[in-house]
Structure 1
């Protein structure tokens, strides 16, 4: 089924983890710079260097992993928990370096504040404040000359306040996210109802054309054929050909309005029939790899997308070959239409809409509203590849 296209929604869901992974690298650099500038004497310099070095290597590896592949749900709290453990370990083995590392404690709660888990944010903030105080207690017991400065309690109070503030901030962001998702759900419902109404309307028109004008036209053609048999006439032959072409065009219109093969057999047979018609009409070779996907909920939208994309190829692409692929990835159906034509700039699609050419722009809007996606990859002279991903199927 070709390359797996990750959903935009899944990417955005993992965005906080990726942001944390990026911000972690300059934080490690700042830790190294702070200790180097302060020229502290470490209690365990080899252990300190080993921990910081392994932390840096792990941070780079983690950044590469989250940028390349899917991010598990536990990654957001696990990565931040490791940050806290490493900072505590560095403090415990670095003696006077503790003073240089203390500002880092104030950065840890902020690193999770933009995630969508208030309880996780509260837990990290609380652990950070307790860890800060524990480090000072450890050194006050280890070095009698150090003691417990009053500023420690002030800093501890600031960290507690920061934990509360970031938790409230995260809670507010989650509530706003829930509101946005609710509005998106309403939007999807409205678009779905509009599409169903549109489909019912098309079906009614198709049935009306099939049972009315098309049948009348076919009857007239049969009567004319009988007249031609009794009295051959070139003029009658011309009229017969015109009636035959009109009937074929009307039948094609009925099929476009409401393809019976789609309703009866499902998406894959309907696309095979669509590809066959495209090849016979345009003489463009099509390489089709169509897996059986049954009758997905969004088959009307996917069929419409395939028809619109193939129409665009025949009108604008100047292509010699076209590739059409259909298959499932998880609970979604993925359709890919690629050609070796002249290509175009995808940035002009919004301009097409403003100019009244709403075909491709309408598809983009419909898939976005329904929770699917439509990725257009094209450039001048390099052909075009459009990957359409359906909304998730209801389990």
Structure 2
């Protein structure tokens, strides 16, 4: 959608119609043209027949020109003011043509019902305006449409001998329709804007996920290169001494290969946790906490009783990865002494809470850490949001409480 700098109250509400909106406008306008032509053919006026035909022909030409203009390539922001003005001008032509034809066919004749029928064409104008998806356009058009209907009815009332009660009732219906078109255009515009925002957020989230994946691939490559690969290279050098008959080099080769195997196993375990795959998320969190509880200065308490033992979901890896990352941060950076892990299934929503008594961290600290190139928590938050979840950080006194909520499918 394109903002229109229309005069006065238009402001940010002025919008160009979507392609579907232009198509709907064109269809309704063609319906109005057909309505006028069929009415004049079935019941031609007794007076001013030439004027009616000429005005209708001119209106058909104008509608054709508008159709060509409306289906041109989309306009840029600098020309969006023209879009609104042309739209309002065309709606003014719709109102004027129907009102003038109604007066021409009804003012000088007491036998024609053509005027009464043509006047009903004004009921299509608010619908045409609503297709623009602009509350500003619908509001500007509403009052002139009702006034044109009242004026045409008043001018032809004596000739047609139509009671004022009927005119007032039709006017009330048209007023309600015009008001409804304003509300409808506002609702539809809100939906279009919301869809645009969601699409923008989805694109941003996709870029963040790609950045996270790139960073993690780079991190894995660095860990393999700086860890296991270095021990393999050392073992390769020691093999030269083994070939030269140095028996002591055998133990160095064995030690290097054992350490390389351990490092590679750690990387493989992080990429694809075996416990999570075999026993599920509940057991994997208990196993993760048990490993940390081996530290003498750390106490990890786990509450996962509300989670089914054999439960499986499509967010298990996201939740486990989040727990592992947050526990690592609590130990390394927060210098926590006690950590509480809670996993619950609440109304088909997985709720994972990690709380600690460390130094604490805030949203600003997370943002600063991301700017410095440390995207651990940021990557977790991105994955949670991509799963349709919510990532909350609460700074305690002391400590930090991080809550993740992800809907379960």
TM-score band (shorter)? 0.3 to 0.5
Structure with the greater alpha carbon radius of gyration: 2
TM-score by length of 2: 0.45
TM-score by length of 1: 0.46
